[in-house]
Structure 1
């Protein structure tokens, strides 16, 4: 896969102080997933009930958003020996541990992982909860108890690489820097205090790689535990490349300001509710072919800007963008609206102003766009707002990957819509973690069937009481996806709480926990 990056700002030369006190230039590593690039650091793990893994990562903008993704720190071979893997799965940050060979736990972030920009990502286990953090802000939590398993099938700990023997498309595609592994559970305050600068060896730090060598095929472990790394590949060629480090990047400073102010960077979001205000309605049911549906675009926490643009992607076989439908609001007075049909299934909308006096900031309504539903619509279709750009008052630009999604479903909202989401035949049956999780209006559930068989997908509450059957039929081999609206078999809304989603096919059975928040 060819990596693609956003040009945020020109890099500046910055001298950083390492944990040893020497002044060196700041470097990072760039990994290519199609070459299976990785850093072999031996076996780094803990079998207690305290663990933290953290890193600065700049993911390529074209990483897969299906079951495969990008491994940040690989700590497992399969679902029996996970010791704290941090990766990106279906476009979201994921954290994996096992508390026994049969007790496998996965936590996915409640919003997509940023693409094309440096972001600090961390997974923490404190013996009571698994937690995820993105740029210092909590992005997910899952109740889990017990010690991390001592069972081990890994090739070893791999930075940027999957630590099992399968050679699929799950190696890191992007840049990585400041990788730290701890046998203590770091608090949010501790993560924020140390994420923007190098650190020195301290209690609990069992692995620390700054990648500041700048050349060669080895990198030092600065924790004092001698887990020095070998830059290599699994089955490809070459090794990760040396690139400027995270602390040389201008956009890192913006993330620091946002994190310390306890806020996220600005973004633009889709709303399918055309009434005033941002209802964040993400799903419409009973969609009919030939009808036109309007969406609102809303901005949150924008700096002082004189223009903006948003990239919207969709399936051109199921939807058509209505020409000239973009109608900008007066959020920025005098904004001249623009539409750019880049290619089929890809449109950019936005605008700018000529006057330097007309600026705006904060949150508000930006405009509307419309799509016509094709006669070929079956099941559902997703509209994805994948990239936004803000033209700031000082002449600079800020680009972000917000990944706001809207779903149009040709169904009643609680009868399952099943459609393949990728081609091919899987090797094993698998029920993936639903996403988003936690969820409010709807959540997506993906599962795979390796051979033709009857399968049943259903939902229970924590008391074991049956709530709904999402799918029960004979399936051909393949990858399937459905949407659950948080309703029971009678169409009634389920109450807030934890629900169990179970896939059963033949002798295989797997359960995932879903958190519904009303």
Structure 2
């Protein structure tokens, strides 16, 4: 998109009038890629209880080992105008339509295609952080929005680089699920520096516990479990935002996940 069009869309979104509404949720997904590789995809999803006409995103990868090679529309944003610019500090993205809306629902609105620097460190987990998010409706009014940050996992072996250390971890950790957003299943990895009794539970957007994935004593090490998008009775749950909670002794951690259909 031409620079003039990009600037016009930025000005339009910044000048929009703020209104109070039910919260929309933008979820920056989880990605994975090897050192020096290209075509690594991170999806950005939107759960919107109201129609959305325009989106402005500013996303930083911390540390800065990623380069956005392209940004692709999805079926939810087909026909939208798209502009993006990968500046030194952040990736800036504009989505806008004069005729169509991102209709009420949930699911990916764009896919960001990243390449990984040859200087990135294997095993490092980068933060994908929202610096600014703006949504507007068909009247040009700004909508209330929450943003869930994402992660990018550096994996694999590059030339002249050894594999990451696979010894027992030195701290408790709950990693971001992958993929995220997901359908129908997602993987959840966690680290235990010592043998410990743990629980991993899933909660819905209202804070109600819907599933216990793990409830047992486990050995020290890096472990992985999965959630298939079902509750404790085996019923498929609706699309939306869910929370994964790990409790291990005095340690606890949570991660936000988004199920899309």
TM-score (norm: length of structure 1): 0.31
2:37 is matched with: 291
Matches of residues 104-183 of structure 1 in structure 2 within 5 Å? none
2:223 is the alignment partner of 1:468: no
Cα deviation for residue 433 of structure 1 reads 8.6
2:81 aligned residue (336, 361, 378):
336
1:426 is matched with: none
* Counterparts in 2 of 1:359 and 1:416: CA distance versus 1, 3 Å: farther
2:137 is the alignment partner of 1:392: yes
Deviations 1:325-348 (A, max 9, x none): 11123424531111033x313012
Distance 1:346 1:352 in 2: 20
1:304 is matched with: 51
1:512 aligned residue (248, 251, 255):
251
SS of the residue corresponding to residue 368 of structure 1 reads strand
* Counterparts in 2 of 1:405 and 1:386: CA distance versus 1, 3 Å: farther
Cα deviation for residue 302 of structure 1 reads 4.6
SS of the residue corresponding to residue 57 of structure 2 reads strand
Distance 2:57 2:218 in 1: 42
Distance 1:467 1:314 in 2: 33
1:270 is matched with: 28
Query: Do the aligned partners of 1:461 and 1:498 also contact (CA within 8 Å) in 2?
Result: no
1:346 aligned residue (72, 79, 90):
90
Cα deviation for residue 410 of structure 1 reads 2.7
From the CA coordinates, give the structure whose radius of gyration is larger: 1
* Counterparts in 2 of 1:398 and 1:432: CA distance versus 1, 3 Å: farther
1:314 is matched with: 61
* Counterparts in 2 of 1:433 and 1:399: CA distance versus 1, 3 Å: same
Deviations 1:396-428 (A, max 9, x none): 112534032123133699947989xxxxxxxxx
Distance 2:37 2:137 in 1: 37
Distance 1:295 1:434 in 2: 20
Distance 1:407 1:392 in 2: 31
Cα deviation for residue 310 of structure 1 reads 1.9
Distance 2:114 2:172 in 1: 30
Deviations 1:142-183 (A, max 9, x none): xxxxxxxxxxxxxxxxxxxxxxxxxxxxxxxxxxxxxxxxxx
1:370 is matched with: 113
2:248 is matched with: 500
Query: Do the aligned partners of 1:309 and 1:390 also contact (CA within 8 Å) in 2?
Result: yes
CA RMSD of aligned residues (A): 4.4
* Counterparts in 2 of 1:459 and 1:309: CA distance versus 1, 3 Å: farther
Distance 1:8 1:432 in 2: 44
* Counterparts in 2 of 1:499 and 1:395: CA distance versus 1, 3 Å: closer
Cα deviation for residue 392 of structure 1 reads 0.2
Cα deviation for residue 441 of structure 1 reads 1.6
Distance 2:130 2:101 in 1: 23
Deviations 1:102-126 (A, max 9, x none): xxxxxxxxxxxxxxxxxxxxxxxxx
Deviations 1:303-355 (A, max 9, x none): 22222122211136422222xx11123424531111033x3130121321234
* Counterparts in 2 of 1:418 and 1:334: CA distance versus 1, 3 Å: same
The gaps in structure 2 that reach 5 residues or longer are 1-13, 157-162, 177-185, 199-214, 228-243, 256-261
Cα deviation for residue 394 of structure 1 reads 2.0
* Counterparts in 2 of 1:338 and 1:414: CA distance versus 1, 3 Å: same
Query: Do the aligned partners of 2:41 and 2:113 also contact (CA within 8 Å) in 1?
Result: yes
Distance 1:497 1:267 in 2: 20
Distance 2:145 2:252 in 1: 30
Structure richer in strand, relative to its length: 2
Distance 2:226 2:147 in 1: 29
Alignment length (residue pairs): 194
* Counterparts in 2 of 1:317 and 1:402: CA distance versus 1, 3 Å: closer
* Counterparts in 2 of 1:395 and 1:406: CA distance versus 1, 3 Å: same
1:165 is matched with: none
Query: Do the aligned partners of 2:24 and 2:48 also contact (CA within 8 Å) in 1?
Result: yes
